[in-house]
Homo-oligomer: A and B are copies of this chain.
Amino acid sequence: MDTKKQNRRRFLKEGAALAGMAVGAIGSASAQTPGAEASPVPYRDRRAYGRRSRFVNSVRTNDDDATHAAFGRSFNVYTPLQDSIGIITPSSLHWVSAHGYEPPDIDPQEHRLMIHGMVDRPLIFTLEELKRLPFVSRIYYLECQANRPEYKGETVQQSHGKTACSEWTGVPLSLLLQEAGVQSGAGWIVSEGDEAGKMTKSIPMAKVMEDVLVAYGQNGEPVRPENGYPLRLVVPGFEAIYSMKWLRRIKVVDRPYLGYKEISRYTRDDSRSSWFQFEMGPKSVITFPSGGQRLPSRGYYQITGLAWSGGGAIRRVEVSTDGGRTWKDAELQGPALRLAHTRFNMAWKWNGEQTVLLSRCTDELGQVQPSLAEFARFWGATSEQFLSRSARGAGHSNSIQPWGVNRDGSVYNAIS
Chain A residues near B (Cβ < 8 Å): 8-9, 11-12, 15-16, 18-21, 23-26, 32-33, 35-39, 41-56, 58-61, 71-72, 75, 77, 84-94, 96, 102, 105-109, 121, 123-126, 128-129, 131-137, 167, 169, 175, 178-179, 216-217, 219-222, 224-227, 229-230, 296, 299-302, 304, 333, 335, 337, 343, 345, 347
Contact = CB atoms under 8 A, between A and B. Distances in A.
A195 to B, nearest CB: 15
A193 B138 CA distance: 35
B49 A37 contact: yes
Contacts of A333: 136-137
Given A19-B129, A44-B71, 14 more contacts: A19-B124, A33-B48, A35-B42, A35-B44, A35-B45, A37-B45, A39-B45, A49-B92, A50-B224, A53-B106, A88-B167, A132-B299, A132-B300, A133-B300
A179 B90 CA distance: 32
B51 A219 contact: no
Contacts of A94: 50
Contact of A18 (B88, B106, B129, B230): B129
Name which of A9, A20, A42, A49 has the most chain B CB atoms within 10 A of its CB: A49
Copies of this protein in the assembly total 2
A207 B93 CA distance: 34
Interface majority SS (helix, strand, loop, mixed), chain A: loop
A231 to B, nearest CB: 12
Contact of A48 (B59, B121, B125, B220): B59
A282 to B, nearest CB: 21
Given A91-B90, A333-B136, A49 B59 contact: yes
Given A19-B123, A84-B220, A220-B90, A128 B35 contact: no
A49 B16 CA distance: 39
Contact of A302 (B135, B219, B296): B135
Name which of A24, A55, A337 has the most chain B CB atoms within 10 A of its CB: A55
Contact of A60 (B19, B50, B179): B50
Nearest to A137: B86
B49 A60 contact: yes
A38 B45 contact: yes
A56 B222 contact: yes
B345 A12 contact: no
A121 B45 CA distance: 44
